[in-house]
Amino acid sequence: MPQATATALSARLLEVRRAIDRAARASGRRGDAVALVVVTKSAAPGIFAAALDAGVTDVGESRVQAGVQRRAQAPEGLRWHLVGSLQSNKARAAVAAFDVLHGIDSAALLERVERAAAELSRHPELYLQVNTSGEASKHGLSPAALPEALALAAGLRHARFAGLMTMAPAGDPLAARAAFAALRSLRDQLAPGAGLSMGMSDDFAAAVEEGSTCVRIGRRLVAGLPASESERA
């Protein structure tokens, strides 16, 4: 891989981790209380390798098949996150390939994932996705539907409930912060102590200030980095 790629990615990772630490301290926590998932969905193999060389251990993909292919070529010891929405007909493949599923957006999907986990003797961690912005374009449980899903999650025997997840409105910092605060409030009321997967490239600092325990960052880290000559060809 080009040395420039490794240098630039290391610098970006350091910048993001420092921003996470500042935001965490602003909310009375330590930066290491927030997991950083590096979303590599658009990254060339050389950039992915540079991320691993920089110490990244939590990697995210938004499509099941892309994650299956990437994992087959990657070293052991990584923690694989599916950060995109999950279609029910791909639940079994997702359970087989990923350690953490962030987009469980219905009670039916939750049950399907649990069945797949039982059949495969796998124990993926699950985040229930909640639509806290009210946007029709967003996937997720409505806040009103969350208690039923949490009741189902409490009875899981194979998959493991990890927390709640949301995606904030793009391009509106105030609306994004409100969406994050709403998820934190739901967590505090209905699932105290559960994790919060919220915050992406443009809004992760606000998400951490509002209590996020896991941020999912791709473009801010990998966009525009030079790939190897063979990957550019």
Q: How far apart are CA 119 and CA 95, in angstroms?
A: 10
- In a domain, residue 216? The reply is yes
Q: How far apart are CA 31 and CA 215, in angstroms?
A: 12
What are the angstrom distances between the C-alpha of 96 and each of 47, 119, 150, 191? Answer: 25, 10, 23, 27
Under the banding of pLDDT at 50, 70 and 90, the label for residue 2 is low
Average pLDDT over every residue of 114-132? 98
Lowest mean pLDDT among 20-29, 77-86, 135-144, 208-217: 135-144
Q: How many distinct structural domains can be found in the chain?
A: 1
- In a domain, residue 41? The reply is yes
In the chain, % of residues over pLDDT 90: 81
Place of tokens 């194979």: 158
Under the banding of pLDDT at 50, 70 and 90, the label for residue 233 is very low
- In a domain, residue 64? The reply is yes
Average pLDDT for the chain:
92
Supply the pLDDT for residue 138. 84
Residues in the chain: 233
- In a domain, residue 233? The reply is no
Residue 161 has pLDDT above 90, yes or no: yes
Comparing C-alpha atoms, which of 180, 152, 155, 218 is closest to residue 12?
218
- In a domain, residue 230? The reply is no
Residue 232 has pLDDT above 60, yes or no: no
Q: How far apart are CA 14 and CA 12, in angstroms?
A: 5
Q: How far apart are CA 133 and CA 180, in angstroms?
A: 9
Residue 228 has pLDDT above 80, yes or no: no
Asked if residue 85 lies in contact with residue 131, where contact means CB atoms within 8 angstroms, the answer is: no
- In a domain, residue 136? The reply is yes
Residue 231 has pLDDT above 70, yes or no: no
Residue 42 has pLDDT above 90, yes or no: no
- In a domain, residue 133? The reply is yes
Residue 1 has pLDDT above 60, yes or no: no
- Residue-range definition of the domain harbouring residue 11: 3-223
Q: Give the β-pairing of 58-61 and 100-104.
A: unpaired
Supply the pLDDT for residue 227. 62
What are the angstrom distances between the C-alpha of 80 and each of 42, 74, 138, 213? Answer: 15, 11, 23, 16
3-class DSSP assignment, residue 190: helix
Average pLDDT over every residue of 29-36? 96
What are the angstrom distances between the C-alpha of 20 and each of 6, 167, 215, 229? Answer: 21, 18, 9, 33
- In a domain, residue 229? The reply is no
- How many C-alpha atoms does 195 have within 13 Å on its Cβ side? 22
**Rg of the chain in Å (alpha carbons):** 17
Residue 69: give its domain's CATH number: 3.20.20.10
Element (H, E) at 181: helix 173-190
Supply the pLDDT for residue 98. 97
